[in-house]
Structure 1
Amino acid sequence: MGNIKTLSENLINQIAAGEVVERPASIVKELVENSIDAKANKIVVTIENGGKKLIKISDNGLGMDREDVLKAFERHATSKIKDLDDLFQIRTMGFRGEALASIASVAKVEIQTKRKEDAIGSKLECVGGKMSVLEEVGMSEGTVITVKDVFFNTPARQKFLKTDETEFTNITNILIDFALGYPWIAFKFINNGKVYFDLEITDDLSFRISQVLGKDIAKKLLNVDFFGVDPKVTGYVGRPEIARRTRQSQYVFVNGRAIRDAFISNAVMEAFHSLLPERKFPMFILFLELDPMLVDVNVHPRKTEVRFAYKNTIYSMVKGAVKATLEKQHIIPEIDDVARSYWNNEKAYGAKNPLAESLPVAGVEKNLNSGNLKRFNESSEINKALSFTKIFLDINSSSDSNHVKVLGQVKLSYILAYDGEGLFIVDQHAAHERILYQKLIRTAEQKTPAKQLLLVPELVQLSVAELAMLRQNQSIFNNIGFDMEEFGQDSFQITAVPAVIKNSNIKEIFINILDDISAGKMAHKIQDPEHEIICYTACRSAIKFGQKLELSEQIALIEELEKQSQKSTCPHGRPTMIRLTFDELEKRFGRK
């Protein structure tokens, strides 16, 4: 007997489900796409336990007749395409005919559906690929699909699902894509019995953006309107001051389909060129409309990737459209992050501003001609030299050869120091991050967080996704020293922050922490959500790379780092310092 065997239909569906149904968010995506293709203008998504226990999609679309219901669970059964030519003219969300069959093979699925012209609806259940008898059901026009116990018959797949909170966040992000791409559809999202958002129908994209991303964001978006032959590029790009530290707030739609494409992102980045601070990414919502013949959406079963026929042309068109928008608005680069943090610190705490001290005051600048400007620069250099000499003498006055002595700051990012055994080069951001992390950990363990009350509460307006994440994790934030409460429909008011946070730009820190949670940067290293949020808080609150520190601040930082039980790496695992022993130095110089 031969070894090669034909697989059963159910096993084939389960294998296909591995590509189509990766997690509950994948199911939501496939079913909402079906609702959109059915011309629905109202879609309600209900989930429980991050979609693991329940996913329910209700719509008021066209519905199906009895014959179509029976075919719906068959593999590669679809109403979207009929022949090969249709595959190159795709304008619908779905077309592969795999979704329902794949979902039904790994979950318990029930479908209820009715067309407008039918007197009665149809109901069918499919559990683990096995269909029940078709029944009649009374209902209004549309379709309701209920999915329960995802991966109930494939325990190995269940083990790879994330926490309920993570799966909930993934579903939220999927629904935000749909909400932004289809403002003429009303979307309602219910999680564990609580309504997370209820978006009304609108023909105004900017209004939908304000509903989803927040009014503050919507006010700082620039309209992109480029009517080329192929593609037509429309939408919005954010002003430089609302650039984010991740690409999470970048939305691209090709013929209505939400995609993730680094190629388009890079085109927008190049259009911004030098307008953005370092390590910041522009926010944008862009729609590309082009002939379906020029874009292949049949690249992957999940349909989140596409292939363009004329890639370089698309790149140039997107870049040109965004660049023209920025030039039209006369966008001028804002003061960079480092400078802004100094101004904010001075305004909030009355602290000495080292950046301000390094700039000539207006009266002095006016009276400087080329001659005394040269003398001014020379005297500054002399002062720097004298200052360094004084520092060097001071730090070498100690007789303790094992005591760490600070030499100074290099490139506004590294602190150079030495002790009796050799030299240290300390990454000031990583070192401070480690210090803050240890303090926040101790605070969380003691359950008595040290807080600093804000004289003026900080009002933070959040997007739908950010609100969802914050509500899921609010108790953790409270446990480490944040005091906050909901303020209106789309905002939180922060009244206190952990005492270790000295940066005055609380709003920026908080938004960046939520960005990090959304991006899940450390999910592969840290499974405890509390420790993960502590890591993000320490990172975003720490001294910045490129921030000027006074000598006293450098010394205090090194001394504080020396006290930590774990001081060699930051919470992300990057080294806080590099050590070069005197023995190694002597070898390098050929003395040994």
Structure 2
Amino acid sequence: MDSKIVVLDAHTANQIAAGEVVERPASVVKELVENAIDAGSTRIEIEIAGGGLTTIKVTDNGEGMTPVDAELAFSRHATSKIQCASDLFKITTFGFRGEALPSIAAVSKVQLLTRTAASLEGTKLTLAGGKITGQEPCGCPAGTTVIVEDLFFNTPARQKFLKSTFKEAGAVADIVSRIALIHPQISFRLISDGRIILQTNGQNNLLTAIAQVYSTELAKKMLPVEMETESLRISGFIGQNFQHRASREMQNFFINKRYVHHLRLSKALEAGYQGTIPVKRYPICVINLEIAPALIDVNVHPAKLEVRLEREEVITEQLTELVRATLEKKNRLPETGFRKVKYVPASEQVSLNLPTLVAEQVKENFVTDNAADSEEKQAMLPATKEAGQSANSLTQLLHRIQTPTVPQPITSEQEQEKLPPMQVIGQLYDSYILAQGENGLYIIDQHAAHERIMYEEVLHKFLAKNNLSSQILAVPLTLELTYQETTKLVDNIFHFRSLGIIIEHFGGNTFLVRGIPVEFTPQEGEDLVTSLLVELQSKNPKEILYEDLLKIVACKKAVKAKKRLNLPEMEYLLHKLNSTKFPYSCPHGRPTIINLTLAELARRFLRT
């Protein structure tokens, strides 16, 4: 009886394997460049034509190969990187499977020129469709040159799924750029259709490599990160809180200098920026994690873009803390003229509840003993009638605050990397505080600024006790919910309790709110609960974080746009903002302050 199972011939097997390793021209470039790095090269040149479909040429000055090794290199599973299965747990090279060269050769026409430094002549090897068609001595410099032509000439179906030559060339540039970033000790040059696309100098300076791959302007504003434990070292650069992008394209993660796709690392990075960049914007980075090879499995994906990590949770937590600590040390106002800022109008349902001081208290804490300064300060206060009305309203506000805190003088150490010195000069459209300083005009979004203040206050209270304090309502609030809202509320009742909101089921879809956070009035409490339910409708309960809910609490308590503030209130708000960890953005990442510089003013008035 004839067997249905047959052993595939070597040619067919090679083409199948090539489909896993060689997806597009960029895959070929990646494999060849990594081989050049493994060979100890300090200079690598990549030249492509037709997006890499017509020609790919990679030249290096590495150790080269002998004639015997040159031929063996195109045999499947022939490698100099490992000797046995146990070596998979201590891999320090980029290649190790012995599949790249035979896979490339199986779907293209290849020419190899190579020479070791100890040899007087090199070797020229030619292949077509994976078969060696010629081998002869030749003259060539020490190192290796691989020329790949007519990629996928014998697999036309593969060509149908490729992008335009322009996009394929872009994918090659992306691969080479990432490799150049993590190997600043190697000089790279990428040429596409005769034009130099990328060139690095190989001076072994990561920041210089970032500048040459991206731009000098971007590189000089990035922040260094570094930490080391017994089993982990993290190093590299991250963008500041205003250097964000619409995608994760500029997030470069490397593990032992191998570029990887790792969503958990991206999430850990973004968690460190939580509340400092806008929603749906992503930070940038070039980060290398040095981990013992025994704790990594790189034998997961044919292109080795995915890895498995032991102690992944510990590693991601350490990355988040490192990023957060770095940003706290270097939180600053972006350098701007007029920047386009997307402003989201705030609700106007909650009245002002700033811990404001009456004029005498403000004067005591903000005005120096210098008589001239005191007179100047007094001159800036509202007119007598308005001042009297403001004082009465402020007194009423103070009664709503259980323990108003008088601000302490800010030390020079605290002021460092916080708000620049500024003097309030007014309010614009009852929404923006205007202040002047040494560097021009500052425009402060009062809602965003107060939201940052309130968020850090409620977060501090929450972390201190793992919950917010409740006040029991004399008359419970009644909530009539939809079926979907009821389901979400029941699933997340513990979250509400931790936020100081005590809810009990009254029957059907009716619930009673018996307690709300102490900072809220009953009317504000009802609005808070409703807002939390709306937020829960858009998320899976498992994805709900206390931090997200605390942002809603802070937003509801923050002073709103279209709310008239007097001078003491504005000054106190800026004082409190200066004491926060991230004064330049609200918890949702929107900016709190923009700066119209003196230089920009001069330019706009044609003074320069």
SS of equivalent to 1:278: coil
- The answer for the alignment partner of 2:340 in structure 1 is 341
Cα displacement (A) at 1:186: 0.3
In structure 2, the partner of 1:118 is 119
Give 1:369's match in structure 2, choosing from 369, 375, 390: 390
Write out aligned runs for 1:4-43 (5 A). Answer: 4-43=5-44
Q: Quick one: distance in 1 between partners of 2:268 and 2:321?
A: 9
Counterpart residue type for residue 230 of structure 1 = S
CA distance in 1, matches of 2:261, 2:392: 57
Deviations 1:241-286 (A, max 9, x none): 1111110110011001011111101001111110111211111110
> Which amino acid in the other structure matches residue 307 of structure 2?
V
Rounded to whole Å, the distance in 2 between the matches of 1:42 and 1:221 is 27
1:427-442 superposed matches below 5 A: none
* In 2: Cα distance, 1:263 partner to 1:364 partner: 53
| 1:240 counterpart letter in structure 2 | N
Q: Aligned partners of 2:109 and 2:102: how far apart in 1?
A: 11
Q: Percent identity?
A: 40
Measure, in 2, the Cα distance between the counterparts of 1:256 and 1:154: 33
Q: Which residue of 1 aligns with 2:155?
A: 154
SS at match of 2:177: helix
- Counterpart in 2 of 1:439? none
Unaligned runs of 5+ in 1: 345-352, 377-382, 385-547, 549-592
Count of matched residue pairs? 366
Contact 2:58 2:145 (C-alpha < 8 Å) held by counterparts: yes
Normalised by the size of structure 1, how large is the TM-score? 0.58
Cα distance in 1 for residues equivalent to 2:264 and 2:345: 40
How do 1:427-506 and structure 2 match up within 5 A?
none
Distance in 1 separating the partners of 2:141 and 2:169? 29
Letter in 1 for 2:392: G
After superposition, give the CA deviation of every residue in 1:469-505 in whole Å (9 maximum; x if it has no partner): xxxxxxxxxxxxxxxxxxxxxxxxxxxxxxxxxxxxx
Instruction: Say if 1:107 and 1:150, in contact at 8 Å, map to a contact too.
Output: yes
Give me the whole-angstrom Cα distance separating, in 1, the residues matched to 2:332 and 2:8: 62
Q: CA deviation at 1:84?
A: 1.4
Separation in structure 1 between the aligned mates of residue 341 and residue 83 of structure 2, nearest angstrom: 63
- Structure 2 equivalent of residue 217 of structure 1: 218
CA shift in 2, pair 1:328/1:188, >3 Å = same
Tell me the alpha carbon deviations over residues 146-193 of structure 1, each in whole angstroms, 9 at most, x when there is no partner. 000110001111111110111011000000111101000000111101
Deviation at 1:79, TM superposition (A): 0.3
CA positional deviation for 1:121: 0.3
**Alignment partners' CA distance in 1, 2:200 and 2:148:** 23
CA distance in 1, matches of 2:279, 2:335: 12
Correspondence for 1:282: 283
SS at match of 1:273: coil
Q: Determine the structure 2 residue equivalent to 1:203.
A: 204
| 1:74-223 alignment runs, 5 A limit | 74-223=75-224
Distance 1:354 1:274 in 2: 18
**Residues 275 and 332, structure 1, Cα contact 8 Å, conserved in 2:** no
Shift, 1:333, TM fit: 7.5
Instruction: Provide closer, same or farther for how the CA distance between residues 190 and 235 of structure 1 changes in structure 2, counting only shifts above 3 A.
Output: same
Q: Map 1:221-370 onto structure 2 (within 5 A).
A: 221-329=222-330, 331=331, 340-341=339-340, 367=387, 369=390
Alpha-carbon distance change, 306 to 57 in structure 1, aligned in 2, over 3 angstroms: same
CA distance in 2, matches of 1:267, 1:232: 16
Provide the C-alpha distance between the structure 2 equivalents of 1:364 and 1:256, rounded to a whole number of angstroms: 62
Q: Kindly provide the amino acid, as one letter, of the partner of residue 371 in structure 1.
A: N
CA RMSD of aligned residues (A): 3.1
Unaligned runs of 5+ in 2: 347-351, 353-379, 398-428, 431-560, 562-608
Match of 1:503 in 2: none
Secondary structure of the structure 1 residue equivalent to 2:245: coil
Give me the whole-angstrom Cα distance separating, in 1, the residues matched to 2:277 and 2:244: 7
Distance 1:122 1:342, change over 3 A: closer
**CA distance 1:374–1:4, change in 2 (3 Å):** farther
* Letter paired with 1:232: R
Residues 219-257 of structure 1: per-residue CA shift (max 9 Å, x gap): 211110101122100111100111111101100110010
Tell me the SS of whatever aligns to 1:304: coil
Partners of 1:336 and 1:276 lie apart in 2 by 16
Q: How many Å apart are 1:370 and its aligned residue?
A: 5.1
Deviations 1:331-384 (A, max 9, x none): 2586999x952599xxxxxxxx999xxx9xx866995735346999xxxxxx99
- Asked whether the 8 Å contact 1:240–1:333 carries over to 2, the reply is no
CA distance in 1, matches of 2:80, 2:148: 22
Partner SS for 1:201: coil
Measured in 2, the distance between the counterparts of 1:6 and 1:320 equals: 54
